[in-house]
Structure 1
Amino acid sequence: MIKTVIFDMDGVIVDTEPVHRYAYYKQFSELNIAVGEEMYTSFTGFSTRNTFQALKGFFPTIEHEVEDLIQRKRTIFNDAFDTKEDLYLLEGVEDLIKDLYTNGIQLILASSASKVTIERVFTRFNLHQYFTDIVSGEDFPQSKPNPAIFVYAASLSKAPKENCIIIEDSTNGVKAAKAAGIYCVGYNSHHSKLQDLSDANLIINNFKELDAQKISQLGA
């Protein structure tokens, strides 16, 4: 029986991707680099640090230190986040979170996003009350598909990892869940383009397909 649900954030709980995209592409313009759609999509699930480490490998003309690049992107993102009025929770996810919480299922967040971004989202939408733990990808040297973030998140569960599931929307996230040996629900989000969820144990198109009773029986 499932006792713990580990949520990704971007593309699962909230769609901050347009804000991230705006911030990244404004910075790409400042750096005078051309990042195509295929390359940008390949970074889905990466932390900001790993994204810039990869970009420095692709574009030797980037002379800035990774930490400086991170801070600049964060500044652009935060300015946009604070002025963006159409930022909202994805359809059905708040009802699912409340249903799981009410039925005693532990909720943990494991997101590649920075702690600052997670805090902004959780404060804006009053989500702290539902989650026992928050894990940020910035604390891990490698991003998804490396499973480290999920292995650690599962260690915070009140139950063995066999009684955990992960909800993910990205190719890299599903691969990370698989590598961690944890049951994965792939959320086919229309906000997350060109993602391969085929390795997920279950694929859903809408959170209305899930509730606490259905989730508790997954993996049985």
Structure 2
Amino acid sequence: MIKTVIFDMDGVIVDTEPVHRYAYYLQFSELNIEVPEEMYTTFTGFSTRNTFQTLKSYFPTVEQEVEDLIQRKRTIFNDAFDTKEDLYLLEGVEDLIKDLYNNGIQLILASSASKVTIDRVFTRFNLHQYFTHIVSGEDFPQSKPNPAIFIHAASLSVAPKEECIIIEDSTNGVKAAKGAGIYCVGYKSEHSHLQDLSEADLVIEHFNELNAEKISQLKG
């Protein structure tokens, strides 16, 4: 019996990826570097810190410190986030969150996003009330596919990890979930560009495929 659902945020609850993409590519332009689509795709699920650490290894011309790069990205992102009107929850996810909450299933967020970004999203869409814990990737030295964030999230569960599931939409996120030894639902949406969800235990294309009754019966 599944008692806890661990959600990723970007691409699962809300699609902030276009805002991140805008911020990153504006910053790449400022840094005079060209990041090909294939490389950018591999950063999905990375924290901002890990993204810039990786970029600095590829582009030695980037002389700024990682912390300075992070702050600049955050400034661009926050400005865009506050002015972007077409930012919305992904279709069906709010109904699923409320259904799980109303049926006594614990909800935990485990996102690579910074605490500031998570709080902006959760405040904008009034989501704090449903989640018992929020775990940010900025607290971990390595990003997904390293499983540390999910191992920690599962440790906050009211149940053992065998009674938890993770909902993810990225290659790195699914790998992290399986590395943590936790049942993984892969969400394949129109936003899951070039993401490989083949290691997931179950793949869905819309959140109406899930509800509290179905999830509680999944084998963790």
**TM-score of the superposition, structure 1-length normalised?**
1.00
Q: What corresponds to 1:13 in structure 2? A: 13
Q: What corresponds to 2:101 in structure 1? A: 101
Whole-Å Cα distance in 2 between the matches of residues 40 and 168 of structure 1? 18
Percent of matched pairs sharing the same residue: 86
Q: What corresponds to 2:81 in structure 1? A: 81
Q: 1:161 aligned to 2:199?
A: no
Q: What corresponds to 1:197 in structure 2? A: 197
Whole-Å Cα distance in 2 between the matches of residues 217 and 142 of structure 1? 32
**What is the 5 A alignment of 1:53-72?**
53-72=53-72
Q: What amino acid is the match of 1:132?
A: T
State the shift of 1:58 in Å. Answer: 0.3
Whole-Å Cα distance in 2 between the matches of residues 189 and 33 of structure 1? 30
Whole-Å Cα distance in 1 between the matches of residues 207 and 131 of structure 2? 18
State the shift of 1:78 in Å. Answer: 0.1
Whole-Å Cα distance in 2 between the matches of residues 127 and 190 of structure 1? 23
State the shift of 1:189 in Å. Answer: 1.5
Q: What corresponds to 2:92 in structure 1? A: 92
Map Cα deviations across residues 40-84 of structure 1 (whole Å, 9 max, x no partner): 000000000000000000000000000000000000000000000
SS in 1 for 2:185: strand
Q: 1:207 aligned to 2:207?
A: yes
**What is the 5 A alignment of 1:144-159?**
144-159=144-159
Q: What corresponds to 2:25 in structure 1? A: 25
SS in 1 for 2:179: helix
Whole-Å Cα distance in 2 between the matches of residues 54 and 41 of structure 1? 13
Whole-Å Cα distance in 1 between the matches of residues 42 and 209 of structure 2? 28
Q: What corresponds to 1:41 in structure 2? A: 41
State the shift of 1:12 in Å. Answer: 0.1
Q: What amino acid is the match of 1:139?
A: D
Whole-Å Cα distance in 2 between the matches of residues 60 and 189 of structure 1? 35
How many residue pairs get aligned? The number is 220
Structure 1, gaps ≥5 residues long: none
State the shift of 1:192 in Å. Answer: 2.1
Map Cα deviations across residues 7-55 of structure 1 (whole Å, 9 max, x no partner): 0000000000000000000000000000000000000000000000000
Q: What corresponds to 2:182 in structure 1? A: 182
SS in 1 for 2:184: strand
Whole-Å Cα distance in 2 between the matches of residues 83 and 22 of structure 1? 13
Whole-Å Cα distance in 1 between the matches of residues 160 and 92 of structure 2? 27
Whole-Å Cα distance in 2 between the matches of residues 189 and 35 of structure 1? 24
Structure 1 segments (4+ residues) deviating >3 Å: none
Map Cα deviations across residues 135-182 of structure 1 (whole Å, 9 max, x no partner): 000000000000000000000000000000000000000000000000
SS in 2 for 1:108: strand
Q: What corresponds to 1:143 in structure 2? A: 143
SS in 1 for 2:186: strand
Whole-Å Cα distance in 2 between the matches of residues 59 and 117 of structure 1? 26
Q: What amino acid is the match of 1:43?
A: F
Whole-Å Cα distance in 1 between the matches of residues 200 and 36 of structure 2? 27
